[in-house]
Structure 1
Amino acid sequence: MFQSLLSLRAVKSNTNYIFPTVNPKEDGPDCQRDCADCTVHFPSKVKIETSKPLYGKTKEFHCHVLVATGRSDWNQHAEQEKGSLMEAFDQSAYKSRHGRIMVSASNLQPADNDDTADNQTMDKGTTVLLLPSFTFVDSVTNNDVQELIDSFIDAPQSQSQSGTNPPSTEQQIVRSRLTSRPCAYEYVILLCSHKRRDARCGITAPLIKKELERHLRPRGLYRDANDERPGGVGIFFVSHVGGHKFSANVLIYRKKEQQMIWLARVKPEHCEGVVNYTLLQGKVVHPETQLRGGFDRQRRLTSW
């Protein structure tokens, strides 16, 4: 234990994080204080690893694809669900020229949801949300993996990097039968809820979501699945992202800033600080024990 504490102190003193941290002189004396009036708590049976340093230990990726399944739990390996878009991505030989794509099953509902997302077929397809571009693409079938990558993941990013504006939806439709639409949220929070992979994720994710909602609602920021008002925060459950022993894993996407901030070991008492500082200001409250990494596209910084 003593050695673990020393290692964490070393991380705190020597690491240059890509995201700013809260400062009592700027953010007030209570900025590092955890919430004292939480309405929920983790059960005592939830055991979380607390000694290992986290920062910079995640795998590199440049795009996150959320597959709409309408469920919050999946097979132990979501990419092995027969006939799913997750399986199609996993087995596809087509890769993005910009690097690794993270594919997650999610509880998002398909846009054309006349029954349930479980009825995804090769012909009908499902909806995906692309992050950090905040773009929905509808009716994506298992045969569309290459087209999705070419027309909505690689092409917009390559044009943006060359200094020109990203293609409009109309321009994309010309070269692709797939149709896209902007995601109206200003922020998206992802919580790993993959219970069949690790029970801790299935237990902690709903509790974190409930506490986040409690702090978002008074600000008028929370958006449920049927709330189409622009702006606000969408919170979604996703499949295994890695590091379930560090539950709860919380990935925060900030649209305007083109950032992804990945936190771990988040408990209900941390949610107030997550909302007030990390979500809204891009500052991390407990980087030495909770920050796993992320990226900042505007400043061209990553933690990989």
Structure 2
Amino acid sequence: MSWLWRVPRTIPQSQLPRLRPLTWTRSASRIRAHIPPPFPIIETCPSPTCACRPMPSGLDIDVEHSINGLMAPYAEQVLISTGKDDWTSKIEEDEVSVMARGLKDLLGRGGKFSDPYHNVMITNSSFESPHQLSSNKGSVFLLPSFRYLPDIPLKPEGLEQMVKAFVLPTQLHQMHSVLPEQQKQNLLRDTALQDQFKGSRPVQEVLVLICGHGGRDSRCGTMGPLFRSEFEEKLTMQGFEVLQGAVGSLGFGGASEKPTARVGLISHIGGHKFAGNVIIYVPPSFPENPLAGSGIWYGRVRPEHVEGIVASTILQGKVIKELYRGGIAQEGKLLLL
């Protein structure tokens, strides 16, 4: 009989002693040690206790295949504030996407900062920028770094400085060890540049991001606005202040001391056939939540799931297994079941 220790690469060795005890499962030819994930899990979403919006009919949703792990790995999501609810199929071709075009030129294949071991996801959002579309500045959320930058110059040199200051890795993958020293330095973050970006702040509000990219797929275009209203309603019922309007320099948008949240539509993140697709970022400022500092990806979300997601995941830090596509923690660590 052979014994196989199965240690996910995403769990640092230093964390193993603090994990829950191993459980053993028998397969046809061997016994495996199963290490539970470092966050609490519930199998299914709790049933709603109040009315919810009806699910649109006639949508071709894949309910057969497993969605666990169907999330493209990424080190950082750059979430661009556009103030629009929808975009052209390729966001870099949209009229409001000066920043998306510039960032893809820098970070995409063949770009100055292209790094196959540090994938950066560039996404448009419906969040309103404090700047007009005709302005020469833009704003972004950086996740899961949980940083908001309100004043980014849209000229190529401004975008390059932002990428160098906040987006590039602080440590290169070992495969880059063969590169010349100057090239390695070019691919590393330079934190000294961060002082140039005034108004930068930590993100203290929960972010609920819903794929609503109708210009790419009608399923998400149909379900996105519905889920935005549903999440805003259920968050309010659970005592959150749902922030509206242009994103400013402050994490808490009102005079109350309620926990805060923003709900927005975003462009394509993959897996339209698993709509509704939702990413929930729980900020580090929620220290009692086991998912603080993480982003949780859910698929096949229906309106009747929203109340349970708010109560279980956002408030209690529990991952709902039946909806789970994947997750990411700070420094790009994947969260696997």
Match of 1:20 in 2: 40
Q: What SS class does the counterpart of residue 224 from structure 2 fall into?
A: helix
Match of 2:71 in 1: 58
Amino acid of the structure 2 residue aligned with 1:125? K
What is the TM-score with the length of structure 1 in the denominator?
Answer: 0.76
User: CA separation of 1:224/1:56 partners in 2, compared to 1, >3 Å: closer, same or farther?
Assistant: same
CA RMSD, aligned part only?
3.0
Residue 75 (structure 1) aligns with: 88
- What does residue 192 of structure 1 align with? 211
Structure 1, gaps ≥5 residues long: 1-9, 24-30, 159-166
Larger Rg: 2
How big is each residue's C-alpha offset from its partner over 1:82-135, in whole Å with a ceiling of 9 and x where there is no partner?
Answer: 66211112222133766011110111222234xxx3x35xxx121111112222
Of 61-70 and 37-46, the range deviating more from structure 2: 37-46
In the TM superposition, residue 244 of structure 1 has moved relative to its aligned partner by 0.6
Report the equivalent of 2:243: 224
**Separation in 1, partners of 2:328, 2:280:** 11
Q: Which amino acid aligns with 1:266?
A: V
Task: Please tell me the residue identity of whatever aligns with 1:238.
Answer: I
State whether residues 105 and 239 of structure 1, in contact with CA within 8 Å, keep that contact through their aligned partners in structure 2. Answer: yes
Structure 2 residue runs without a partner (length 5+): 1-26, 28-33, 172-188, 246-251, 285-291
Q: Does 1:125 align with 2:137?
A: yes
Amino acid at match of 1:197: R
C-alpha distance in 2 between matches for 1:299 and 1:79: 24
Specify the code of the residue in structure 2 equivalent to 1:87. R
Contact 1:188 1:233 in 2 (8 A): yes
**Residues 299 and 281 from structure 1, CA distance in 2 versus in 1: closer, same or farther, beyond 3 angstroms?**
farther
Tell me if structure 2 keeps the 8 A contact 1:277–1:284: yes
Count residues with an aligned counterpart.
Answer: 263
Residue 244 of structure 1 aligns with an amino acid whose one-letter code is H
How far apart, CA to CA, are the structure 2 residues paired with 1:278 and 1:152?
28
Paired residues for 1:2-41 under 5 Å: 19-22=39-42, 32-35=45-48, 37-41=50-54
Deviation at 1:282, TM superposition (A): 2.0
1:266 aligns with 2:301: yes
Q: Which of these residues, 251, 258, 261, is aligned with residue 279 of structure 2?
A: 251
Task: Report deviation, 1:75.
Answer: 0.5
Shift of the 19–77 alpha-carbon distance from structure 1 to 2, 3 Å rule, reads: farther
SS of structure 2 residue aligned to 1:215: helix
| Structure 2: distance between partners of 1:264 and 1:142 | 36
CA distance in 2, matches of 1:180, 1:102: 23
Q: Cα 1:19–1:242, aligned 2, differ >3 Å: closer, same or farther?
A: farther
Counterpart secondary structure, 2:88: coil
Aligned to 1:213: 232
The separation in 2 between residues aligned to 1:251 and 1:207, in whole angstroms, is: 15
CA distance in 1, matches of 2:144, 2:60: 32
Deviations 1:186-219 (A, max 9, x none): 3111001100101111111111121112221133
> Is the aligned partner of 1:302 residue 2:327?
no
Q: Work out the percentage of aligned pairs sharing the same amino acid.
A: 27
Higher deviation after alignment, 97-106 or 217-226: 217-226
Are the structure 2 counterparts of residues 17 and 95 from structure 1 closer, same or farther at C-alpha, using a change threshold of 3 Å? farther
Structure 1 residues 224 and 149: alpha-carbon distance in aligned structure 2, compared to 1, 3 A threshold: same
Which protein has the bigger helix share?
A: 1
d(CA) in 2 for partners of 1:299, 1:179: 25
Q: Residues 160-180 of structure 1, C-alpha deviation per residue, up to 9 Å, x if partnerless?
A: xxxxxxx9x9x6554x3x334
